[in-house]
Structure formats: C-alpha cells, structure tokens
Structure 1
Amino acid sequence: MTAPREQAPARRRNPRGQGQLLKTQLVEAAARLLATLDHPETITLRQVAREVGVAPASIYGHFPDLGALIEHVLRLRYAELAELMDQAASRAADPLGDLVARCAAYVHWGVEQPGSYRTLIGSRMPADLVPHTAHGAGAQLLESVIASLAAVTEGEAEGEAEADADIHGASDQAAAQQRRWQAGLMLWTAMHGLVSLYNDHGNLPWPPLDDLLADLLALHTARPTPDIAALLRLVTK
C-alpha cells in the first residue's frame, strides 16, 4: 500500500491587498528554519512553503529565488542586532560605557538567541546560494565595535597621536588605522568565541557570562576588571 503523500498545512488565502502579509510569513518561516535546522545550509524553498502552507510557486511573487529570501532574513537579523547595540550604547556616559554596553548587547543576544546567532555568524551557507554581500549589513556591527574600542584605548593618547600625524604624515596615519581595525577585529573574534563556546558546550561549568565578558573586555582595554564589571551591572540590570 502506497503511503499517503505529505500535505502542506491548510492555509487561508490572504484577502486582496494583503500580499505583504504572505511576504512577512515567508520571511518568518525562513528565519525559523535557519535557526532550528541541524543543517541550515540544506534549506529549500519547498520547506519554506510547507512551513507557511502555500505552494512553492507562491514564493516567486515576493522573492526571485532562495538566495534572495535568505539575504532578506540576514539583513533583518543584522539590523535587529545593530539596533539593539545602538540602543544599549545610547545610555552610556563615556566611551568605556559605550563599549561595554555594545559588547554586552552583542554577547547576550547571541546566547539568548543561539539559532539566530548561528544564522548570522555560524551558518554554513554556500557562496553560490547566499553571496558575500548578504553579510555586508553586518559590517556596521564590526565598525561600531572598532570605533568604540578606539575611543577607549586612544582617547588618553589623542594629543600624542595628533602630534605623530603632523610629524610622520599619512603613512603613520594609515598604520594607526590598521592597528585600530585589527584591535577591533580581535575583540569581535573573542566575543564570537565566547558566544559560540557558551552555546555549543553549555554542559561545562561556566562562570557567569558577565564575569567572562568583564575579563575579556579588561584584556582588550587594559582597564580594571572591577570597573568593567560595575558597568556591566548597570547595562544588564
């Protein structure tokens, strides 16, 4: 006896003029699948359509292909995280507070939403499915961390840096910019490692997340850990 074919769940047609509702549902379904599939790189349009309860052909009225749908999801998630970091930093009283708030928002979002974090940072999407430009929206996250870290570590030496620029010219300015970028990149790498290990090995006897973050930021800012811990208590309470 032939097994019955799997049926998509019944779905009521959206009223005329509510095509945007279907687009939203498709985006939410794709985001949910990317966050929960064991192998998110295997996602298909058919899976997304089944999740919403429509025929796969219905998707093409909103997205030309699977890559465009996934890129849309990525941009929304990057925008969500960027806004969260900016909102946290908006309450900071000084550069160190700004950096602590941004990093705390990033780390806590990554731990509280591991599936969404994996979608942005840890997914294994092939380049032919999701072009590199899909992650371009995440550049502002790194740039905000670079600028915030530089404001902390270079603020005290601002006068010295300006004098060096006058004496040595553009080449030293370029070298300073490279050092600034690399410092921010290393901080972001450390935070990514913290989030990824915390998510993937939750059975380890981890210290409190904010204790780890305070130690991490102390290493990258040369500021006392207790000072950073005090700021973390303010931004995460």
Structure 2
Amino acid sequence: MDATTPARTTARTAPRGRNPRGQGERLRAEIIDAALRLLDELADDQALSLRAVAREVGIAATSVYIHFADRDALVLAALEHCHADLLRAVDNAESGAADPVAALRARTALLGAWSREHPGLYKVLHESTLNRRTDMSFKEEMAQRTTTAIRRCMDAGLAPQGDAETASLDLRTAVHGAVSLRVNQPELPWPPLEEQVDRFLVKLVGVPPEEG
C-alpha cells in the first residue's frame, strides 16, 4: 500500500492458487494489503477478523496463521508497512520544495491529505487500543523528521530560533487534534484543513504565512 491507498475493491470469491515455492513473502504482502483495505473500511482493529482477511485474499484462514500469530501481529505489521509508505511519500513531497519552509508545508499537507483520504487507517494508527497493548515506536521516526524539518527552517533564518523539539510537539499535537476532530465529528462545519494547518505553522513554528 502507498500513501494514497485506493478504495477497497471487491473481495475475491474464487480460491487462489498456491504460491510457487519461494513466494511466501508475496503472500505475506497480499495479506497485509488486504488487512489495510479492511482496516480503512472498519476504522477499528478489534472489528477485523483473520477469516475476513483470508476471504479478501482468497486463501484459507490457516494460511494467514502461517505468517501472523494473531490479529494484533497482523495489524501491527500492516500499520508499520503503512507508516513506511507514508515516510516515503513525505520524502517525495519534500524533495521538490524550494526551501525549508516549503518542505515543512509539503510534509504537513501530505499527512493531512492522507488522513482525510484514509480516516479509518488514521483511527487505527493513532486512536486504537493497540497503541496501549503493543510497541508502536516505529511512529517516532515521523515525529523526528518533523523536528528535523522545523530545525532546518530555524537554521535557514526562516523561523525564529528556539526549541525545535517543543515546536515539533506543539505542531504535531495541533495537527492531530484538527484531524481527529474531523474524523470523529465530520458533520461539523470545519474550515479547510490546509488553512488551519497553515495557521498552526505560523503561530507554533513562526514561519511566514503562505502567500496567496
């Protein structure tokens, strides 16, 4: 799955053939992709069943257990894969930026767009009880990269000198709060997320407002 995972397609109805010898990793990847599609739809890891994942892939449920001991193990692997894809997408978004502020805006905008397109995955990644039951420290890399992006703005003289880690924490808290409220209360008349995020960047990081 990449950062713009397509909507769930119709589940397979016919059993698939056995993977050729040496292609166990291919089946594992298909199981993870199926789990991500279902999690995005369900928005709740507790509602996911390994049987449903097996049906989505077109295999017997016992084949899922060959790769994952239980549901938590599968969900954790799926979320880690999703997060790795997001990191790559953020890198791509930043790569074309003209300066550190543009790069910070690009990464923040991409994460906001992803959460809007995949509210179910967002809830599981950040709001599920799995966060309390399992080590999800892989998410720290995204936070560290945001801190680095803010520090680059400060070093370039495009934001006031200060504690980049504190500014990063404040920014992430504000953005996640804005996203979570939209995901959980979509009926409210929210302003455009992009405009709100830009206000966070100006007030919390100190970068100049976006022109235009």
Same fold, judged at TM 0.5 (above): yes
| CA–CA distance in structure 2, aligned partners of residues 40 and 61 of structure 1 | 20
Change (3 A) 1:38 1:224: closer
Larger Rg: 1
Partner of 1:92: 97
Matched, 1:14 2:15: no
Partner of 1:206: 190
Partner of 2:57: 52
- Segments of 4+ in structure 1 off by > 6 A? none
| CA–CA distance in structure 1, aligned partners of residues 48 and 191 of structure 2 | 35
Q: Which runs of 5+ in 2 are unaligned?
A: 1-11
| CA–CA distance in structure 2, aligned partners of residues 55 and 114 of structure 1 | 29
**Counterpart AA for 1:187:** L
Q: Is the 8 A contact 2:104 2:146 kept in 1?
A: yes
Q: Secondary structure at the match of 1:11?
A: coil
Partner of 1:220: 204
Q: Which runs of 5+ in 1 are unaligned?
A: 1-7, 162-175, 231-237
State the TM-score, normalized to the length of structure 2: 0.81
The alignment's C-alpha RMSD in Å is 2.6
Q: Is the 8 A contact 1:77 1:120 kept in 2?
A: no
Counterpart selection for 2:168 from 158, 178, 184: 184
Structure holding more helix per residue = 1
CA drift of 1:64 comes to 3.2
Partner of 2:36: 31
| CA–CA distance in structure 2, aligned partners of residues 126 and 199 of structure 1 | 18
Q: Is the 8 A contact 1:11 1:54 kept in 2?
A: yes
User: Residue by residue, what CA displacement relative to the aligned partner does 1:166-204 show, whole Å, maximum 9, x if unpaired?
Assistant: xxxxxxxxxx7xx43222111111111111122222222
Counterpart selection for 2:123 from 118, 121, 134: 118
Q: Is the 8 A contact 1:14 1:21 kept in 2?
A: no
State the TM-score, normalized to the length of structure 1: 0.73
**Counterpart AA for 2:157:** E
